[in-house]
Chain A
């Protein structure tokens, strides 16, 4: 059973560093929760 070969750790295709991508995902989560909250209030 051969082990898979080494795997490179490339930078992301956008925002240059992974840290920035993670921050962007967290901001996205905040926005989506806020929009869902507004949606709930608007149609309550």
Chain B
């Protein structure tokens, strides 16, 4: 990091927070603090929804994912427009007319207190855990790439987020998100342009796209159906629709964004903007990863991008043949790539086919050597299922981007962390106060009392997130577990809301039993099948709906008979 980078980094972050706090003036009632007084315009909500959804890890690992596996990940977003249309048509007007602060408040109006309490606790559990991971995961990447102390990064991020979220409430969160998304867009465009400019003179942009495609890095759509394949068009269209329905219909961290809208139309527009913009945005991020892959066809990358683990295995005797084979495989691939470009320029089809086969073969050899290096990390005491995907993009940024741009891209990482984290902390505080504290602890407090409680809850959840992030290294593989925890619970929550909206005859007890059955089914699928997590939401939702209907039907029969 050079002086220009520090100036850009701190300049970006300070201006984001100052602007957020400036726009949050007057958040002095609960309505204003938690729902911005229902005054937000659609574009601010739209960018806030986008920012809350895109954490730093999503952003860092998406580019890395494309580098190693191509652009298939974009299919996971194909269900998003479908989900947004359904949520806009059904959930948004219902929540607005029910005049609720949280999604779970509606469940008490529709069912009973125990269903509301169960849904709130499920949300607090899963979102509370992931709030810590949101802060911890980028901190560990930054600590390895830049050498910054992990705890310091966690503290700086956590303290900043807590400060503006506690002071300004949802208005500060939303307006900061708008700024953060602007910084993220700016950083991404700068990264792509720089990456293309850094390619050798003899390689045009068209050549770069051609080379990425020849290495199967532009595989945006795969039509083959496979339950165990995470990303294909079918899991994207059907599985991810349910995931996004759960996320935008039942997760308070998203619901709260669009409940701040000044009208139903404004809330709908914010969601439909995401329906239209999200896939191209993900496509763009993945395309950057593919271009970074092309860049490294001509500049030799390290065997592994995780420098700490690479340093650890570097002196092992078993590493020397790996390094030597890697050198050879890289040179072979570089020659093949140049040969392929030349054949393309000459229009020589036979040479193109020959060079293409050689290029792919060399790529496979290089992949094999990287797998051997990863196994060496695991065998020499490193983490199990080692992967350096999250380190690829930031390694490229810090080593090859010019002064100023490195600072901007690091600001992007911080901005993405803060936007995701502030949304989580804000929604956790809202559910704690509205669904639990006000319902079970102090039922008849003043507006000022609940405003203070909301600020304290925000501070408390922020501190919990920082504490949890601080123990991240000791928790190790819990991060993976936390990601799975989210997908384990979303399906049942969605099923509960589907029953609430679509089946008026079903009561609280039936849906409560349905949720328990849904959870059992999802845990069974998780434990005994290897299916992609995208399907858990569909299974959980379907089991809740079917079980609720069955319980209602069975419990209704004796009542009918006794009446007769």
Contact = CB atoms under 8 A, between A and B. Distances in A.
Do A and B come from the same complex? yes
Interface of A: 1-5, 7-13, 18, 21-22, 25-26, 28-29, 32-33, 36-37, 39-40, 42-44
A28 B276 contact: yes
A8 B35 CA distance: 16
A9 B262 CA distance: 10
A39 B263 contact: no
B283 interface: yes
Contacts of B99: 3-4
Interface stretch (B13-21, B46-54, B267-275, B496-504): B267-275
A33 B233 contact: yes
B221 A43 contact: no
B168 interface: no
Given A25-B84, A43-B213, 14 more contacts: A1-B447, A3-B31, A4-B35, A7-B96, A11-B265, A12-B265, A12-B269, A29-B82, A33-B78, A37-B220, A39-B218, A40-B218, A43-B218, A44-B216
B74 to A, nearest CB: 7
B210 interface: yes
Contact of B82 (A13, A26, A32, A39): A26
21 contacts: A1-B31, A1-B447, A2-B29, A2-B30, A2-B31, A4-B35, A5-B38, A8-B263, A10-B265, A13-B269, A25-B81, A25-B84, A28-B275, A29-B81, A33-B221, A33-B233, A37-B221, A43-B209, A43-B213, A43-B214, A44-B218
A44 B35 contact: no
B523 interface: no
A4 B265 contact: no
Report the 3 A-B pairs with minimum CB-CB distance, sorted nearest first: A43-B213, A10-B265, A36-B220
A36 B216 contact: no
B269 A7 contact: no
A22 B31 contact: no
Contacts of B82: 26, 29
Contacts of A42: 213
B219 interface: yes
B288 to A, nearest CB: 15
B97 interface: yes
Interface string B274-286: 0110011001000
Contact of B272 (A2, A5, A25, A33): A25
B89 interface: yes
B85 interface: yes
A39 B81 CA distance: 20
Contacts, number: 97
B85 A40 contact: no
B37 interface: yes
Interface in B82-117: 82, 84-85, 88-89, 93, 96-97, 99
Contact of B213 (A1, A10, A44): A44
Given A9-B265, A32-B279, A43-B210, A22 B88 contact: yes
B438 interface: yes
Contacts of B97: 7
B223 to A, nearest CB: 8
B450 interface: yes
B422 to A, nearest CB: 22
B220 A18 contact: no
Contacts of A29: 78, 81-82, 275, 279
Given A18-B89, A25-B85, A43-B209, A36 B264 contact: no
A8 B265 CA distance: 8
B167 to A, nearest CB: 20
Interface string B443-461: 0010100100000000000
Nearest to A7: B96
B539 interface: no
Contacts of B223: 37
B154 interface: no
Nearest to B265: A10
Contacts of A25: 81, 84-85, 272, 275-276
Nearest to A3: B99
B269 A4 contact: no
Contacts of A22: 85, 88-89
Given A7-B38, A7-B263, A43-B212, A28 B81 contact: yes
A36 B237 CA distance: 14
A35 to B, nearest CB: 9
B264 A7 contact: yes
Contacts of B84: 25
Nearest to B72: A40
A10 B263 contact: yes
A40 B223 CA distance: 11
Contacts of B450: 1
B264 A10 contact: yes
